[in-house]
Structure 1
Amino acid sequence: MKYILILVISLFCFHYCYSQTHEFGVFLGGSNLIGDVGEPSFLNPNQFAIGGVYKWNKSPRHSWRISGTITELQISTEEPTKTVGELSAGLEFNLFEYNLHQSGPKSTPYIYTGLSALNHVDADLKKKWALALPMILGYKFRFSRSFNIGLEIGARYAFADDLDGSDDLGNLNNNDWYVFTGITLTYTFGRNPCYCTN
């Protein structure tokens, strides 16, 4: 137990000894489904979404990002919700330099894309996985030495047409979309990356 306590304290003290290169935090927001049935609005968060986010900042302009999110997708007001979980990995690109190794406030718009895997229940109530293409727009800023906050809207194009339960009834030429809207709060830690040591 004491070793776990030492590890936790060490992680939170790293920012006094090293410049930051990693980020770890949470995502809080809402979700909505865009399918062949139900609410057609693109941006209409109607269910709570929560997740975790990890970023490996490779330069002031880009980061490798991994996230996991859980939510309920609501097909329509008449239909029950379905619990889904998403795992996503890809590249986050900053439109302006976002150097966590420089003092002072920092902010930038950013975009993210990669590949997502969604665990959901199909029309036969069987759990299955579907791949999705995430397209995220966001704006983030550092409000203290070690903490960042971001606001983002992310649409996912699913390579599946059964998220809304209408795989036999809907338009077979249009796959489903789902959207996450919310905020990220991350804590930065780690060593100087090579782009800061020259």
Structure 2
Amino acid sequence: MRILIALFFLFVFGQMKAQTYEIGIFAGGANNIGDVGRTNYILPSGVAFGGIAKWNISKRYSWRGTVIYGNFTADDSKSNMSSRQQRNYKLDNSILETSIGLEFNFVDFNLHQLGPAFTPYLYTGITYFRYGYYYFDAAQLQDFGQKDGGFAIPMTVGFKKRLSQFFILGGEIGARYTFTDNLDASNPEESNFEEFRFGNILSDDWYVFSGITLTYTFGRKPCQDCFE
């Protein structure tokens, strides 16, 4: 029995050593999609930055984790809707998220062969985020003095290119569908705040992080690539 357990751990360790890992940074911008501010889907109004890590389990699939902080400004005066311009609400908010999931490459992305490597990719998974909790009263932003949190579904499309044996440059746009309607302070959940709700209360908010990634690769070359 001890021999079987030892062989099992040797196998697992060997498989982990045969994978390639990435660690790096994300930098870009953030914007919201909701009931306050512009109606553009991709138009950063604040900065976003964070860290990213990947475990490349094959040429097509990678497990991925990120931690990203971003802030955005929702400003009715910059909207192309006259009703929002007349209302003239403005909100600054910040988001801190952590996300894990699966990244899929459209073509084989071999990190171990010389020569150029380029592929578009998709990413999705599960995200947990924290944000500032506010509401509007008589057109003035009011602070609950607390943070709120929730889950979101990330929907990311991007591309990446190997710059060298160890560095990969990418660019991506990732929309997060949240399960809250109060990123823009339009729908506080407390029952006694019903009078302060406005906008489409049947549609939850989105936020978008768009930017570039730069990752450093490390780990041993998988055996199936030894003779390629």
Q: 2:147 aligns with which of 103, 107, 127?
A: 127
2:207 corresponds to 1:178: yes
- Corresponding residue for residue 146 of structure 1: 166
Asked if structure 2 preserves the Cα contact closer than 8 Å seen for 1:109 and 1:138, the reply is: yes
Give the Cα separation in 1 of the matches to 2:223 and 2:46. 42
SS at match of 1:36: coil
Q: Quick check: 55-64 or 97-106, which moved more?
A: 97-106
Please tell me whether residue 157 in structure 1 is matched to residue 186 in structure 2: no
Output one character per residue of 1:96-148: Cα deviation in whole Å (capped at 9) or x when no partner: 00011212110000000001111011122421111111000001000111000
Deviations 1:7-27 (A, max 9, x none): xxxxxxxxxxx9870000000
Q: Secondary structure at the match of 1:75?
A: strand
Once the two structures are overlaid, the 10-residue window that deviates more, 78-87 or 41-50, is 78-87
**What SS class does the counterpart of residue 122 from structure 1 fall into?**
strand
How many residues end up aligned between the 2 structures? Answer: 181
Unaligned runs of at least 5 residues, structure 1: 1-17
The alpha-carbon deviation at position 192 of structure 1 amounts to 3.0
- The letter of the residue matching 1:171 is N
Partner residue of 2:100? Answer: 89
The answer as to whether partners of 1:107 and 1:140 remain within 8 angstroms in 2 is yes
Does structure 2 retain, via aligned residues, the 8 Å contact 1:147–1:185? Answer: yes
Specify the structure having the higher radius of gyration (Cα). Answer: 2
Rounded Cα–Cα distance in structure 2 between residues aligned with 1:44 and 1:125: 28
Partner of 1:55: 54
Secondary structure class of the residue paired with 2:90: coil
Point out the more displaced range, 68-77 or 87-96.
68-77
Greater length-normalized contact order (CA 8 Å, ≥ 6 residues apart): 1
- 1:192 aligns to 2:221 (yes or no): yes
- The residue type equivalent to 2:153 in the other structure is L
| Superposition TM-score, scaled by structure 2 size | 0.75
What corresponds to 1:3 in structure 2?
none
Match of 1:103 in 2: 114
Report the Cα distance in structure 2 between the residues aligned to 1:171 and 1:89, rounded to whole angstroms: 30
1:35 maps to which residue? 34
Calculate percent identity across the aligned residue pairs: 46
Higher helix share: 2
Measured on the aligned residues, the alpha-carbon RMSD in Å equals 1.9
Q: Who is 1:67 aligned against? A: 66
Given residue 74 of structure 1, which amino acid in structure 2 is its aligned partner? T
| TM-score with structure 1 setting the length | 0.86
For structure 2, the 5+ residue unaligned runs are 1-16, 78-88, 135-143, 188-196
Corresponding residue SS for 2:43: coil
Q: Partners in 2 of 1:64 and 1:20 — Cα distance?
A: 11
